[in-house]
Amino acid sequence: MPQGGAALEIIDNKFKSLTIGAAVLEVLYEDCRWAEGPVWFGDAGHLVWSDIPNNRLLRYIPDVGVSTFRAPSNYINGNTRDLEGRLVSCSHGARAVLRTELDGTITTLVDSYNGKRLNSPNDVVVKSDGTIWFTDPSYGIDSDYEGYKSEPEQGGCYVYRFDPADGSLAVVADDFARPNGLAFSPDESILYISDTGRSHNPDVPTHIRQFSVDGAKLTNPGVFTVIDNGASDGFRLDTSGNVWTSAGPGVNVYDPSGDLLGRIKTGHATANVCFGGARRNRLFITCSQYLMSIYVTATGLQRP
């Protein structure tokens, strides 16, 4: 397991200002089947993440340890928080986007489009206006490993925008093979979305695309960057607009222009990341059966 400077691969000297050469890549937990969907609760001081095949959510409390947050979880994958601090989750089992209310009850926000069931919502972000944007590939219905094997009812794998204020659901992108991770730029003028369709089609490029956000629509599609070592599953941004993304056996970091600055080498298939800790300068990494973390100098963009 790489530790300290051994975990860092510096490609551009800008990466040195974002990382700490002496910081240790820590293994916090190692008993998952496929770790995913980390989300930090700053007000509670803990991390929640998904262990999808084990059908559970786990919780990490610094200096305390790991416990079960929810089991069964209905095969939850990606997680985030809304403007009121409620947990918003993508459930493969329910084929829905779920919200955990402050009293612990679970609300189904959306599970169908045009009268047909969604595929298996994968990752989710909440915009500052309260709208919920999520991806809907079919990984959760491809087999019984991360959900329930089923035939897709939608005509493709789409990206959606859901408005909880009026209950409206709209497709904002329909030309992905398998849309996966997504995140807004610091000013929310850009939405980044990854495509992991290479998992089923070798001809699909392993890239992160970018779109201009025009109200409730996406315009000006383009390629932000092409991943050269695997695929971008889940990712987060820091306050300077750098993109920290899972990529093969580690985390790649790109500047806002799409240039690769460096890598954090986990040595395992890496799924997702999020920033946390008291100063949002601790990068939590879900990879294979592990939850890992490393301190950096960047500050995570997500809300506390």
Distance CA 140, CA 150 (A): 9
Strand 8-10 versus strand 26-29 pairing type: unpaired
Distance CA 199, CA 232 (A): 11
- pLDDT by residue (tens digit) across 146-197? 999 999 999 999 999 999 999 999 999 999 999 999 999 999 999 999 999 8
Q: Give backbone dihedrals phi and psi of 238, rounded to 5 degrees, phi first.
A: -100, 180
**pLDDT tier, 302 (very low <50, low <70, confident <90, very high otherwise):** confident
The per-residue pLDDT for range 22-36, each reduced to its tens digit, is 999 999 999 999 999
Q: Are 107 and 120 in contact (CB under 8 A)?
A: no
pTM of the model: 0.97
Q: Mean per-residue pLDDT for 51-61? A: 98
Hey, how many other C-beta atoms are within 10 angstroms of the C-beta on 144?
A: 12
Residues 6+ apart with CB under 8 A from 22: 4, 5
Q: What is the pLDDT of residue 3?
A: 62
Indicate if the pLDDT at residue 202 is higher than 60. Answer: yes
- Cβ(291)–Cβ(57) under 8 Å? no
pLDDT in tens, 206-253: 999 999 999 999 999 999 999 989 999 999 999 999 999 999 999 999
pLDDT averaged over every residue in the chain: 96
Answer whether residue 205 shows pLDDT above 70: yes
Angle subtended at Cα 236 by Cα 235 and Cα 241, rounded to the nearest 5 degrees: 125
Cis bond leading into 72, ω under 30°? Answer: yes
Q: What is the DSSP letter of 254?
A: E
With a CB cutoff of 8 Å and minimum separation 6, the contacts of 119 are: 95, 136, 137, 138, 140, 141, 152, 153, 154, 157
